[in-house]
Amino acid sequence: MATTTEIAAAKLELETLARDIARHDKLYHGDDAPEISDGDYDALRRRLTELELAFPELSSIAAAAHGVGAAPSARFSKVKHAIPMLSLGNLFVESEVPEFIARIQRFLGHPPGSAIRFAAEPKIDGLSCSIRYENGHLVRAATRGDGEEGEDVTANVRTIADVPQILRHADKAPAVLEVRGEIYMSRADFAALNQRQAAAGGKLFANPRNAAAGSLRQSDPKITASRPLRFFAYAWGETSRPPLGGHLGMLEALSWMGLPVNPLTTACASAGDLIAFYRDIGARRATLDYDIDGVVYKVDDLAQRETLGFVSRSPRWAIAHKFSAEKATTILRDIEIQVGRTGSLTPVARLEPVTVGGVVVSNCTLHNEDDIARKDIRIGDTVTVQRAGDVIPQILGPVLDRRPAEARPYAFPTRCPVCQSEAVKETDDSGELAVRRCTGGLRCDAQVVERLKHFASREALDIDGLGEKQIQFLYDSGRIRQPADIFRLKAEDAKRPDRLAHCEGFGAVSVEKLFKAIDERRTVALDRLIYSLGIRHVGRTNSLRLARHYGSFDAFLENASSPTGRAALNSIEGVGQAAISSLDRFFSDETSAIIAWDLGSMVSAIPLATARQDSPVSGKIVVFTGTLQRMTRDAAKSGAELLGAKVSGTVSKKTDYVVAGPGAGEKLDKAQALGVTVLTEDEWIALTAADQPTTADLVTTEGRA
């Protein structure tokens, strides 16, 4: 038990820390003028967490510091890996396994058929991490990052129960030992976490890997501590004492020192052994409590590894044998049609729930009517469902020999199921993609409600507390019909006997909060306001272009509402024909034009900061690829555009910079082949840091920065 004096001292320290952190947050986020390094800032936060964990009774003081600041990921300091963290080459078919071994034999100068000892391990689908021990004590943990430099996640990794803070037999451990392995989340823990998130109205994770990554990359280790992360060691980096006994011997030593090593790891001596391992693990895959996406074969002998070396960024002595996408069969119970914001009719398959790759799938989209016809998918069919990685599940096709006799080809509706208007089929330029669209426009309840949902959504006006359910309720009870009504809601509500505060699902407090959130959006960034109209082909980027071009909502409306103004749209760089035709259609419809003008009378728009001519990247062509960790792709793009760069989707000789995050593939290869400068996200931030758009600029495009 802590004494009163200890508590008093901790209270004082916490108060000072919370004040300091709040000040540094403001300097960093609000003023763009940090006074301390990211490392020092992290130290403050770590100390805060330490005290918070030790004195839970004081947590309200620390809570004040958690509320402030945003973009916490920018706060991880960088760690240069003493030995780079490499990736693995892949093979997908069993027939390539003997070729992998033959390559190794050739390289080592061994006769074909000579035995080479391998270690075979499951390939865990998590994120890799390097954990450094000095004299048996955990001193640093870092993510892989770009392989050369990762993020310092020491405080967070310290919260993982699987990872010892002090090695077992620490006195016999090498003075320096970098343990490498995979941080992951078990399937059961993932499901429970998502349930908790759903109950708390929080973000749901798509799969255990995303959940593990999201949980590890938290600025607040307390959150990481509350997430059930696990660890398997399977490699090492710097060691002060050379490992004895090959890979398997080293794993044994790691296990002896208290690190978890995957129990399915097996010694193999031939292609036959490796393939048998692959098949065995493949067969057990569904019963494992963690996701794997293949197996890894590694040469066991460390001297042989030395000789084999590397090809580009992967070792010659190891390879990943990946599983193909996961498939399952189930029964298609029904096909329902959903009507989207722009009238598109999307068929949704209602399935008998089935687990594919550890995820329960009970419905999935069927793309469009041609797809259903081409695959001849019928209600009642047994269908094959596939899920690959993060990808949304898809139906591959029916299992014909299990088709019930009464199953008839599916007749796609030619009328909107909601408003009964005619639904016409559209093809794209190539005549390929066929989408049927309801022609009801704003006469169709579904389209109106979808537009309202879009209007209030995060990317558009971002009105807190006005989610899909509330919008449906407000629409059904006749309170809102169009976006401008949202801003009249408070005044109208006061006149009604059935005030919202009396309605189910709306407490007095939540109604007050909702009105407050609506009031906060009476002034918004111009590009958001344009985007909020939900005009087809006028997404975030085009909205930004239109905002930049017209400078005010009135100027936009005036030009878009007159045929001559609309004719001039094609002079705006980047705004293509599809968007122009769509704007034309939207504004030549009197009802939608009135709705837009009405909205303009209720909301004032903040003009956009203009693109800079003098930043280090003005006029440069930039391509973003891979997963960005510190900002969303949209934020990166609009930030770059505000600095005067041109953002492109394809790499060519003309490209000045390719900013590559983890998972970058073809674009990165092409950039390297063409000799285009490749930057990590951090390097990009460093390059543009002094000129980064201010928080105020970003608020106009990115909401609360």
Least Å distance, CB 160 to ligand IVH, is 16
When the beta carbons of 69 and 208 are compared against ligand IVH, the nearer one is 208
Determine, following the binding rule CB under 6 A, whether residue 234 of this chain makes contact with ligand IVH: yes
Q: Please select the residue that binds ligand IVH; options are 225, 235, 631, 698, rule is CB under 6 A.
A: 235
Compute CA 684 distance to the chain's CA centroid, rounded to the nearest angstrom.
20
Distance CA 701, CA 492 (A): 31
Shortest gap between Cβ of 318 and ligand IVH (angstroms)? 5
Give the span between the Cα atoms of 177 and 181, in whole angstroms: 13
Determine if 121 is a binding residue for ligand IVH (CB under 6 A): yes
Q: Which positions ≥6 away from 478 have C-beta within 8 Å?
A: none
Q: Shortest gap between Cβ of 583 and ligand IVH (angstroms)?
A: 45
Nearer to ligand IVH, 28 or 297 (CB): 297
Q: What are 261's two structure tokens?
A: 């090593």
Q: Does 233 bind ligand IVH (CB under 6 A)?
A: no
Kindly list the catalytic residues.
Answer: 123
Considering only 124, 271, 526, 671, the residue that binds ligand IVH (CB under 6 A) is 124
- Taking CB under 6 A as the criterion, the residue among 25, 52, 151, 182 binding ligand IVH is 182
Residue 296 engages ligand IVH in binding (rule: CB under 6 A): yes
Q: How far apart are CA 551 and CA 557, in angstroms?
A: 11
CB of 187 to ligand IVH, least distance (A): 16
Binding segment (CB under 6 A) for ligand IVH, from list 33-41, 92-100, 123-131, 501-509: 123-131
Tell me how far the alpha carbon of residue 345 is from its chain's centroid: 27
Q: State the burial class of residue 309 (Cβ atoms within 10 Å of its Cβ: 0-12, 13-18, 19+).
A: exposed
Residue 325, C-beta contacts closer than 8 angstroms, at least 6 positions apart: 386, 387, 388, 389, 391
Residue in 626, 474, 649 with CA at minimum distance from that of residue 574: 649
Give dist(CA 451, CA 546) in Å, integer: 20
Q: How many CA atoms lie within 13 A of 269 on its CB side?
A: 3
Phi and psi of 136, rounded to 5°?
85, -5
Site residues for ligand IVH, window 126-155 (CB under 6 A)?
128, 144
Question: For residues 80 and 585, which CB has a smaller minimum distance to ligand IVH in the complex?
Answer: 80
Distance (Å, rounded) from C-alpha 524 to C-alpha 547?
12
Residue 315 in contact with ligand IVH, rule: CB under 6 A: yes
Residue 249 in contact with residue 243, Cβ under 8 Å?
yes
Helix and strand tally (H, E) in the chain?
26, 26
Of 146 and 681, CB closest to ligand IVH = 146
Of 29, 45, 75, 123, the residue at the interface with ligand IVH (CB under 6 A) is: 123
- Dmax of the chain from CA atoms? 91
How many residues bind ligand IVH (CB under 6 A)? The answer is 15
Q: Given the complex with ligand IVH, which of 294 and 398 has the nearer CB atom?
A: 294
Give the C-alpha separation, 374 to 412, whole Å: 13
Query: Cα–Cα distance between 125 and 183 in angstroms, integer?
Result: 9
CA 624 to CA 450: how far, in whole Å? 31
Site string for ligand IVH, 684-703 (x = CB under 6 A): --------------------
x/- mask, ligand IVH, residues 53-92, rule CB under 6 A, reads ---------------------------------xxx----
Part of the chain binding ligand IVH (CB under 6 A), chosen from 92-100, 117-125, 582-590, 688-696: 117-125
Nearer to ligand IVH, 86 or 705 (CB): 86
Q: Nearest approach, Cβ of 627 to ligand IVH (angstroms)? A: 14
Instruction: Tell me the closest approach of the beta carbon of residue 288 to ligand IVH, in angstroms.
Output: 13
H or E element, residue 169 = none
- Which residue number, 477 or 627, has a Cβ lying nearer to ligand IVH? 627
Minimum CB separation from ligand IVH for residue 242, in Å?
Answer: 17
Does residue 315 contact residue 88 with C-beta atoms inside 8 Å? yes
Residue 605's DSSP bridge partners are 524
Q: Which stretch binds ligand IVH (CB under 6 A): 49-57, 315-323, 384-392, 639-647?
A: 315-323
Interface residues with ligand IVH (CB under 6 A) are 86-88, 121, 123-124, 128, 144, 182, 234-235, 296, 315, 318, 320
